[in-house]
Amino acid sequence: METSTEGAAQAPSSDAAQADAPVTVEPAAAVPPVDAAGTGPRAAIAPASLSPSRASDFMQCPLLYRFRVIDRLPEKPSEAATRGTLVHAVLERLFDAPAAERTAPRAKSLIPGQWDRLRETRPEVVELFEDDPEGERLARWLGEAEQLVERWFSLEDPTRLEPAERELFVQAELDSGLMLRGIIDRVDVAPTGEVRIVDYKTGKAPRPEYAEGALFQMKFYALVVWRLKNVVPRRLQLVYLGSGDVLTYDPVVADLERVERKLLALWEAIRQATESGDWRPRPTKLCGWCDHQAHCPEFGGTPPPYPLPVGAGG
Ligand code: SF4
């Protein structure tokens, strides 16, 4: 078992936390606005699935989880998160090219096209630069994306990589019925069959004392792969483009069993909160990045009316 941070560790960054955690809705946690007949009260439905992002939401702040999964409150796109999405798309698409052509100039040349594509597929990101008629902020933002892409080449050599999978959607059901799902940035498989799971982060690497939190997502993926393929990944690798660090961890079965127990406990806590409606706010410095302060009691706000607990609607 090994934990290492290659390169200088940086301060934890809430920007990093946001940049690589796009908000997606857990499909199984759907909350109809009204009952099936369209007339009665809403009902909160306990989720049947968990992703690393939503599990992290609940651990960070149960009320944030509620706002995102139960209430589905809209969130504004952020420059950091959108830049993260853009950079991920560029790194993924670069592997379409023959190995010898996976150069930094080639990667940077993909940015304008991927930005166009992002604006088509997620029109809401256009509003990020609506107040920038001269395009100065956009140019700076695109330049920052270029720097992140360029830094990747100092950390990995894509001419020597042949990923088995890119942007791989995975899901696995645990014996308890909990469905785990997520998207893995890259899966490498060695000729010997050893599996490496790789995730790109556009923020900075956490300080060593925060590494465990950063690895939670990777152990989550390792658990899913283990359950799906009956293979424990040999290595988990986080590539921090913001600071130029690589964090690796070689998991063993006991790690994955531990994370499974943790997820089951988390799932139970979410189920209880769903039924009771008791979603405690947990203020931290990450509140500065939360879109929901206007609804949060910690900031003088009022949450939306809570859907009736499961079973209480008659
Ligand atoms: S502002 Fe902070 S405490 Fe309130 S919901 Fe957001 S993360 Fe939680």
Q: Domain containing 196 — which CATH number?
A: 3.90.320.10
Residue 201 within any structural domain of the chain: yes
Dihedral sign, Cα of residue 231, residue 197, residue 78, residue 108: negative
Q: What is the residue-averaged pLDDT of the chain?
A: 87
Of all protein residues, the one whose alpha carbon is nearest to atom 7 of ligand 1 is 287
Residue 193 within any structural domain of the chain: yes
Query: pLDDT at position 208, please?
Result: 86
Higher-confidence residue of 211 and 225: namely 225
The domain in which residue 109 lies consists of: 83-157
Of all protein residues, the one whose alpha carbon is nearest to atom 4 of ligand 1 is 296
Let me know whether 174 and 226 are in one domain.
yes
Let me know whether 97 and 170 are in one domain.
no
- Pick from 258, 281, 308: which residue ends a domain? 258
Of all protein residues, the one whose alpha carbon is nearest to atom 5 of ligand 1 is 64
Q: Of 137, 160, 29, 36, whose CA–CA distance to 83 is shortest?
A: 137
Higher-confidence residue of 161 and 37: namely 161
pLDDT at 197 over 90: yes
pLDDT tens figures, 227-273:
999 999 999 999 999 999 999 999 999 999 999 999 999 999 999 99
Cα(272) to ligand 1 centroid in Å equals 19
What residues contact 149, with CB distance under 8 A and at least 6 apart?
87, 90, 91, 104, 107, 108, 111, 241
- Pick from 103, 124, 157: which residue ends a domain? 157
What CA–CA distances, in Å, run from 207 to 3, 21, 134, 137, 167?
13, 19, 38, 30, 27
Residues with CB under 6 A from ligand 1: 61, 63-64, 281-283, 286-287, 290, 292-293, 296, 298-299
Contact call for residues 8 and 272 (beta carbons, < 8 A) = no
d(CA 152, CA 195): 21
Span 123-140, mean pLDDT? 91
Cα(131) to ligand 1 centroid in Å equals 27
Span 204-209, mean pLDDT? 91
SS (H, E, C) 106-133: HHHHCHHHHHHHHHHHCHHHHHHHCCCC
Residue 30 within any structural domain of the chain: no
Query: pLDDT at position 27, please?
Result: 40
Residue 308 within any structural domain of the chain: no
Site to probe by mutation for ligand 1, drawn from 18, 53, 56, 64 as the one with most ligand atoms within 8 Å of Cβ, is 64
